[in-house]
Amino acid sequence: MAKYFDVNPENPQRRTISNVADIIRSGSLVAYPTDSCFALGCQLGNREGLGRIRSIRELDDRHHFTLVCQNFAQLGQFVQLDNDVFRAIKAATPGSYTFILPATKEVPKQLLHPKKKTVGVRIPDHVVTQALLAELGEPLLSSTLLLPDEEEPMTQGWEIKERLDHVVDAVLDSGDCGVKPTTVIDFSGGDVEIVRRGAGDTARFE
């Protein structure tokens, strides 16, 4: 059964956040809130966690996983940025965007797109997510919690606990965080490509 943690959305209890971080470090898979919708997350090098996310969401090897980062300095360790892309992403973060970029050698090979050698990165604008990332001290390997054959993500922590009780290890809940996934912007091909229109405003990239 999954452990359930309910935290204050504006001032999350540090002990609870620390407990969830310890669960993640132990090799577990958690469902947690972001500034767009709930996500599945595990530690960066957790192969089993990666496989469990693929299984829950029925993803193939061409799916772009996301490294959810605390800040821009952390993000810059995992992707390659030229000056123009740096400025564009810097202006849009933190926020409800995922950016597809060429990965550095810091990214485990199993996370990379098999042909493009790219990975998704984002910096969320969400108090609870930021608290968890600060406690972890490293990015979370993540994917939107959108189940197969469903058009919208689940928005309630109790519902996630009820439905995914035997496939995730913990649920971190801070209240409703919306149904729109991130807007996905691909910078890896030279030109800017809007892959998915979601919670983030696309006007700055058009």
Contacts of residue 159, defined as CB under 8 A and 6 or more positions apart, other chains included, come to none
Q: What is the pLDDT of residue 110?
A: 87
Give the integer Cα–Cα distance in Å for 115 and 159. 37
Task: Name the average pLDDT for the chain.
Answer: 94
136, 69 contact by CB (below 8 A): no
Q: What is the pLDDT of residue 71?
A: 96
Above pLDDT 90, what percent of the chain? Answer: 84
Give tens-digit pLDDT for 30-41.
999 999 999 999
Q: What does pTM read for this prediction? A: 0.95
Q: What is the pLDDT of residue 18?
A: 98
Q: What is the pLDDT of residue 154?
A: 83
Cis upstream peptide for 124 (omega within 30°): no
42, 183 contact by CB (below 8 A): no
Give tens-digit pLDDT for 110-157.
888 888 899 999 999 999 999 999 999 999 999 999 999 888 888 899
